[in-house]
Amino acid sequence: MIRLIPDWLLYIIVIVTVVFVLFRIDQRADAPEALPDQPEIGAFLPPPSIYDPEVLVEVGPVASGLGSAFAISEDGWWVTARHVVDACERVGIIVGQGSATPVTEVKVALFADLALLKTDGAPAALALDTSERRFQVGQRAYHVGFPQGRPGEAYSRLIGRETLVARGRYEVEEPVLAWAELGRTGGMRGSLAGISGGPAISASGQVIGVTVAESARRGRIYTAAPSSILRLLRVEQVEAEGRPSPRLTPQNYGEESDDLRRELIVAQVVCVAPGDGPRR
């Protein structure tokens, strides 16, 4: 049986914040210019290098808000971005209007913007693709979650690698994959804030990254690398046991993303910051 977080928790979230924004990209950072959409698949993705461009982000102070997550096992393990849940007093997975199931464990990565969440169970789970060496420049990714606090998605093509340098509430440097945004559904404009922690899914339906940051001005989306996801699973001794989603295309990814959210494979995360709980 799903245990519910009281309604007051969700009311707090609505009052405290509308859009969950903790990462701000320094626009002075070295990043490639936007590239035109080309259907051709290019060279294989090279390994991380000290010569990879850096993208600078600022991790703001902990605040109540909303993010995205996805299930990786039906026994209740989820993946999200570290900055979505780090230092929260309470964390929950929204399972319906006005209700959420509590997260009983939060395991953050110290080397990447990643975290694992544990609940009593999950309806279904997504499969991971960790064959990073076989990724090719130009391949597509479909980013699913809750941008601006509501259901939404975008799709992109792989540009290459960069090094994400986070400063602020915590500090970390990690190799990430950089994607050029090609489109989004639902007529959404502006920032994708709130999609952080959601999966980046390949055309074949497997998770190939976790969305962790964006540069709206440059049209860039950044995802934690599959190697970082695999490292976190090994450190925490968590086994991922999911299934691929149906194949995704620019024509059907909106409908398929809706199905993933409807089935609670991709869900919204609630963070309650210390001090934002009920007063007695």
- Whether the per-residue pLDDT at 38 is higher than 90: the answer is no
Residue 29 has pLDDT above 70, yes or no: no
| Cβ atoms 55, 12 nearer than 8 A | no
CATH number at residue 104: 2.40.10.120
Contact 201, 208 (CB under 8 A): yes
Q: Running DSSP on this structure, what letter comes out for residue 89?
A: S
Determine contact, residues 223/174, Cβ cutoff 8 Å. no
- Residue 164 counted as domain residue: yes
Q: Give the end-to-end CA distance of the chain in Å, rounded to a whole number.
A: 29
137 within a domain of the structure (yes/no): yes
Please indicate, yes or no, if residue 173 is contained in any of the structural domains.
yes
C-alpha closest to that of 194 among 142, 156, 149, 152: 149
CB 198 within 8 A of CB 69: yes
pLDDT at 6: 55
Using pLDDT thresholds of 50, 70 and 90, give the confidence band for residue 22. Answer: very low
Q: Is 167 helix (H, G, I), strand (E, B) or coil?
A: strand
Q: Is 156 inside a domain boundary?
A: yes
- In total, how many domains does the chain have? 1
What was the pLDDT predicted at 98?
Answer: 79
Q: How many CA atoms lie within 13 A of 196 on its CB side?
A: 28
Contact 100, 75 (CB under 8 A): no
Q: State residue 216's pLDDT score.
A: 86
What distance in Å separates the CA atoms of residue 154 and residue 145, rounded to the nearest whole number?
Answer: 9
The answer as to whether 31 is a domain residue is: no
Measured in whole angstroms, the distance separating CA 103 from the mean position of its chain's CA atoms is 17
pTM of the model: 0.88
Q: Is residue 241 part of a domain?
A: yes
pLDDT digits (tens, 9 = 90+) for 197-244: 999 999 999 999 999 999 988 899 999 999 999 999 999 999 999 999
DSSP 128-151: B---GGG-BTT-EEEEEE-GGGS-
Q: In the predicted model, what is the mean pLDDT of residues 154-174?
A: 96
Asked if the model's pLDDT at residue 12 lies above 70, the reply is no
In a domain, residue 245? The reply is yes
Domain residues for 237? 43-272
For residue 185, the model assigns a pLDDT of: 83
Whether 280 is in a domain gets the answer no
Of 22-36, 88-102, 133-147, 263-277, minimum mean pLDDT range: 22-36
pLDDT value at residue 13: 47
Q: What is the mean pLDDT of residues 155-163?
A: 97
Which stretch, 38-47, 182-191, 252-261, has highest mean pLDDT? 252-261
Contact of 177 with 161, CB cutoff 8 Å: yes
